[in-house]
Structure 1
Amino acid sequence: MPTQDVALPEGSTSICDVLVLGAGGSGLAAAVAAAQSGARVIVLEKAATFGGSTAMAVGAFAAPMTSLQRKAGIADSVEEFISDLEHTNGAFEERENHELRRLFAFNAASTLDWLIGLGVRFLGPFPEPPHRHPRTHLVLPNSKSYTATLRATARRLSVRIVLSSPAGELLRNSTGAVIGARSADGTYLASRGVVIATGDFSASADLLRSGIGEAASRVSPVNPGNTGDGHLLGQSAGGQLVQMDTAFETLRYAPRTRPDVLKAMPAHPAFARLAAPVANHLPRPLFDFFTKGAMISWLAPSPAMYTAGAIHVSSSGTRVANEESTSELARGVAAHGNRSFMLFESGVAAAFSRGGDPIAAFPGVAQAYLEDVRRFRPDLLTEAPTLQELATELRVPASALITTVTRWNDSIDTGTDTDYGREHFGAGIRQGPFFALGPLQAVVTLTNGGLAVDTDLRVLDRTGTPIAGLFAAGSAGQGGLQLLNNGLHIGWAMTSGRLAGTAAARSPILTGSPNTHLSAAFL
């Protein structure tokens, strides 16, 4: 019989085969896969609703050799996919977990087809340079479709989802195997194991500070629920945390005052089935209406605009960092009030208008130019004939802004940025009218560090030995895997969740009552 999301009475004890911590994409994938393997499954989610970061994402899933590629006549291979990932990794290739990359590469297509079988629908595949083949599959109608479909499937499979119930402790038996967890509302015992699928640590100032630095800890997360709970729980059970020094810091526009059209669409599987044939035959103007406003809202302005001559200023009218470093710029913006603007002159505006370079792009899907910002997000583009008037429109001190622009133009004339060491200058900011994009805010979109796992998604201790009864998936179980292109994080979340849930359901039954509890406050 299908179940409903529930909150259990305080102090209760529940028994299951597999306990999943987290009801985001990887957690729900793990729950469904475990239930499909015959396991009784309970999911604990600390938030009042399900979805996690997956429901907030763009929704791209990158995979080779998929059924949609074959349907489009695209000949691809796993080895070519791996080769392309190696190329895009660049200097990060030396940090790559090659075993997990092969695990992902060989199972991504079957996971995508598994999702399609459950009712998820995709558009594409689309190209993602420098990948040699189109591999980007865009979920329809939005990223909430993943978790809505997985939750509906989980209910049909009698998975119990307990909301507003963060796990505070892991429970072990006399042999040290993890056999459950304890939350504020009760105890949950799992006969075959626990899957940690709690997302990343982008909202943990302590973990950001210890792994990356103080400046990174001041940048706000996209998902405030990603506080690294599972990382700490896994570590408290002896799990090893790896590559905790990487975060994706960037800029995003201030949220729009009205709902995003794409995000507002219902994510029910029935609607997704209807959306797929419609999306494939939308007239281009209507397709642009649905995609360009969302794209402009989700993506920061192209870094090429800085190369062409734009600068970035805080609400005080001063530059805050070297604009050519995304992380330095994000940290600088966060340290100066977290309200900022990209400033440029008419020449740059012309270069990024229609017929020139895009200010934002989904490769192979759509490109946006300044005219599109004016049309779809007019609140983000300010134009004025003078810097004085521009400053007034932006509510920025005019004297400070004019001084900043004068100093920047002087840097171009001397060929040296004595403030921040920027190397590419462009023509400067001299010719009106003058423009600003913003306000822009600094955000951490995600982090790459996680628990070390093997190819069965079992959490590993510092000696590389699997911890009995403990699995991890998604960002919590990233294990040193480099995911540096669009569509790889959701691809890994779904693939690792599916594999972890299956592995946990097929694990030997763990025996013994709990004799040790492990707190998330371990550090």
Structure 2
Amino acid sequence: MSVITDSQAEFEFIVDVLIVGAGACGLTAALAACDGGASVLVLERDKVPLGTTAMSTGLVPAAGTRIQQAAGIEDNAELFAEDLLRKSKGTADADFVRAVCAASTETIDWLSEQHGVPFSLFEAGGALPGHSRARLHGTPSRTGEELIASLHSAVESAGGDVMTSALVSELISDGKGMVTGVVIDRPDGSQERVGCHTLVLATCGFAGNPEMVADHIPELAGIMAHTHPGANGDALRWGTELGAQTADLGSYQGHGSLAAGHGLLLSWLSVSEGGFQVNAEGQRFSDESRGYSEQ
């Protein structure tokens, strides 16, 4: 995975917006680009779009949405931000938190009303620990796979294209700081070059790269990583090679509720319904009722 310089690069074809990664981030970016009238192609290394989103419950927190309003819940982005800043004990960037919380409202309304993503409010578990309102929005089955399938369908309906089994191995630069395209490795060993006017890297983080984890988060060196194989730090390596600045690489959210050996996360719902955790000796070892982030 590297950046190569080729000012005279030739491409099989060129699109306005090229997105690497067909998880929730990449597919949502594709919808935004389609809405702007761009020609859009999403590249995905897997045979079907999945990503880390498909390994989750697919529940998205948002405040002040029309879905909340219909359920009689009064909420807003500022209250959401205050809850997050309190949960993070003031360590998070307040401006960034407020920007994300404000965007959460319009994003859920936009995806559900303009692109038909069938979100509804998850009220069974009530408000998560540290949150003052029920804010989780999810698709009917409450699975990440269903959310990805809904976003994928929406991208195709909006005129975007998704190319699977397409592993991006290199970025192509013009030598002046502009990325002009990518090199794609195909399963049969062949390569293709696709050009773009704008590139979006949506390849998740580096949780699946033990060396990067040890380097940036030494306290987690050697920890079990339950993540997608694509979370190996490609975007971080490409970005730094191109001169991008980085920040907060030591920040993370850990989960203490993985059914080891089975590849299953135990959801917060099991705890909210009275479940608790014990170790191999049958002893309770922490207060899981504080919330999975806190635990």
Distance change (3 Å), C-alpha of 1:293 and 1:114: closer
Structure 1 distance, partners of 2:267, 2:244, is 43
Structure 2 distance, partners of 1:293, 1:211, is 27
Distance change (3 Å), C-alpha of 1:237 and 1:87: same
| Equivalent in the alignment of 1:79 | 78
Structure 2 distance, partners of 1:296, 1:342, is 21
| Equivalent in the alignment of 1:41 | 40
Question: What is the Cα deviation at residue 253 of structure 1?
Answer: 1.4
Question: What is the Cα deviation at residue 252 of structure 1?
Answer: 1.4
Question: What is the Cα deviation at residue 241 of structure 1?
Answer: 2.5
Q: Does 1:113 align with 2:109?
A: yes
1:315-330 residue pairs with structure 2 within 5 A? none
Contact persistence 1:295–1:360 (CA under 8 A): no
Q: Secondary structure of the residue that 1:55 maps to in structure 2?
A: helix
Structure 1 distance, partners of 2:121, 2:220, is 39
Residue 115 of structure 1 aligns with an amino acid whose one-letter code is L
Indicate which of 205, 212, 216 corresponds to 2:217.
212
Question: What is the Cα deviation at residue 164 of structure 1?
Answer: 2.1
Structure 2 distance, partners of 1:218, 1:256, is 16
| Equivalent in the alignment of 1:168 | 169
| Equivalent in the alignment of 1:222 | 227
| Equivalent in the alignment of 2:256 | 250
Q: Secondary structure of the residue that 1:145 maps to in structure 2?
A: helix
Contact persistence 2:11–2:195 (CA under 8 A): no
Deviations 1:470-509 (A, max 9, x none): xxxxxxxxxxxxxx68xxxxxxxxxxxxxxxxxxxxxxxx
1:54-65 residue pairs with structure 2 within 5 A? 54-65=53-64
Q: Does 1:180 align with 2:181?
A: yes
5+ residue gaps, structure 1: 1-10, 264-291, 313-340, 349-356, 364-444, 446-483, 486-523
1:321-470 residue pairs with structure 2 within 5 A? 341-344=280-283
Q: Secondary structure of the residue that 1:171 maps to in structure 2?
A: strand
| Equivalent in the alignment of 1:122 | 120
Residue 147 of structure 2 aligns with an amino acid whose one-letter code is Y
Structure 1 distance, partners of 2:182, 2:68, is 42
Residue 122 of structure 2 aligns with an amino acid whose one-letter code is G
Structure 2 distance, partners of 1:151, 1:69, is 25
Contact persistence 1:68–1:124 (CA under 8 A): no
Structure 2 distance, partners of 1:144, 1:249, is 20
Residue identity (%)? 26
Distance change (3 Å), C-alpha of 1:86 and 1:219: same
1:84-95 residue pairs with structure 2 within 5 A? 84-90=83-89, 93-94=90-91
Indicate which of 94, 100, 125 corresponds to 1:98.
94
Moved over 4 A (4+): 292-297
Question: What is the Cα deviation at residue 294 of structure 1?
Answer: 9.6
Structure 1 distance, partners of 2:256, 2:225, is 10
Q: Secondary structure of the residue that 2:46 maps to in structure 1?
A: coil
Contact persistence 1:123–1:140 (CA under 8 A): no
1:9-48 residue pairs with structure 2 within 5 A? 13-48=12-47
Question: What is the Cα deviation at residue 234 of structure 1?
Answer: 1.4
Indicate which of 188, 196, 202 corresponds to 1:190.
196
5+ residue gaps, structure 2: 1-9, 186-190
| Equivalent in the alignment of 1:152 | 153
Deviations 1:430-481 (A, max 9, x none): xxxxxxxxxxxxxxx9xxxxxxxxxxxxxxxxxxxxxxxxxxxxxxxxxxxx
Distance change (3 Å), C-alpha of 1:293 and 1:342: farther
Indicate which of 241, 244, 251 corresponds to 1:239.
244
Q: Does 1:135 align with 2:74?
A: no
What TM-score results when the alignment is normalised by the length of structure 1?
A: 0.47
Deviations 1:14-65 (A, max 9, x none): 2100010100010011111101211001111122221211111022211111
Contact persistence 2:172–2:179 (CA under 8 A): yes
Structure 2 distance, partners of 1:127, 1:197, is 29
Distance change (3 Å), C-alpha of 1:17 and 1:293: closer
Residue 102 of structure 1 aligns with an amino acid whose one-letter code is R
1:270-289 residue pairs with structure 2 within 5 A? none
Structure 1 distance, partners of 2:26, 2:88, is 27
Distance change (3 Å), C-alpha of 1:169 and 1:140: same
Question: What is the Cα deviation at residue 215 of structure 1?
Answer: 5.7
Residue 256 of structure 2 aligns with an amino acid whose one-letter code is T
Structure 2 distance, partners of 1:17, 1:231, is 23
Question: What is the Cα deviation at residue 151 of structure 1?
Answer: 0.9
Residue 135 of structure 1 aligns with an amino acid whose one-letter code is R
Cα RMSD over matched residues? Answer: 3.2
Structure 2 distance, partners of 1:215, 1:99, is 28
Structure 1 distance, partners of 2:267, 2:180, is 47
Question: What is the Cα deviation at residue 116 of structure 1?
Answer: 1.4
Structure with larger Rg:
1
Distance change (3 Å), C-alpha of 1:81 and 1:211: same
Contact persistence 2:16–2:39 (CA under 8 A): yes
Contact persistence 1:65–1:109 (CA under 8 A): yes
